[in-house]
A = this chain, B = another copy of it.
Amino acid sequence: MPALDVDSANSAPPRRGRPGYDRAQVLEIAVALFNEQGYDATSVADLATRLGLTKSALYHHFDSKEQLLALALDEALSGLEGVLDEPAAEQGSAAERLDAVLRGAVRVLVDRLPYVTLLLRVRGNSDVERAALERRRAFDHRVTALVEGAQAAGQVRDDIDGPVATRLIFGMVNSLVEWYRPGGPVDSARLAHDVVAVALDGMRTR
């Protein structure tokens, strides 16, 4: 199915619905519930209960549970893809671009934490999930190409395979969803610094 865009959905003509929620708010509450109890285990009735709406009122906002999932996954993926299209990811040396991509990915993860959390739990159980996994793979390939470019330029060590290095670095980045909570003592710029410090420069003093 085609990727849906949350922003264009939000700027579409308003649909009938109960006052009190716009589409973005319904999506936010749905994603929180999916993360709490699992997407597959969440019914439209559960979601209506959480929102205090009838099922038919909820269907005024969205066509299906799967549409909510598609919008939520697009929110995460379009954020990550956007990082690769930013000027900082396209200018400078390969190592500088990799540095920028890592910082950008941490920023997206912090800014869109519930959406990225949902994305990371997707296992490919439906066409929507498989399409999201395909976009994740395409993102990974673009990052791997950057790692390999930095290796070819002698800026990044070449004794680790590019795809393995990419998986290790994003393993570190993605693990943030397990413990990072916005509003705590570590802000996203600090966190981006720490990730780059560990992954690119290493913990050991030079």
Contacts and interface: CB of A to CB of B under 8 A. Distances in A.
Contacts of A206: 206
A141 to B, nearest CB: 14
Interface residues of A, number: 39
A156 interface: yes
Nearest to A202: B202
A171 B167 CA distance: 11
Interface string A78-95: 000000000000000001
Contact of A171 (B95, B159, B172): B172
A113 to B, nearest CB: 15
A167 B172 CA distance: 8
Contacts of A200: 202-204
Nearest to A185: B161
A203 B150 CA distance: 10
A157 B202 CA distance: 8
Contact of A169 (B98, B160, B170, B198): B198
Contacts of A194: 160-161, 164-165, 168
A42 interface: no
11 contacts: A95-B204, A98-B203, A155-B204, A156-B204, A160-B194, A164-B191, A175-B175, A198-B202, A199-B199, A200-B203, A202-B202
A198 B168 contact: yes
A12 to B, nearest CB: 36
A205 B160 CA distance: 12
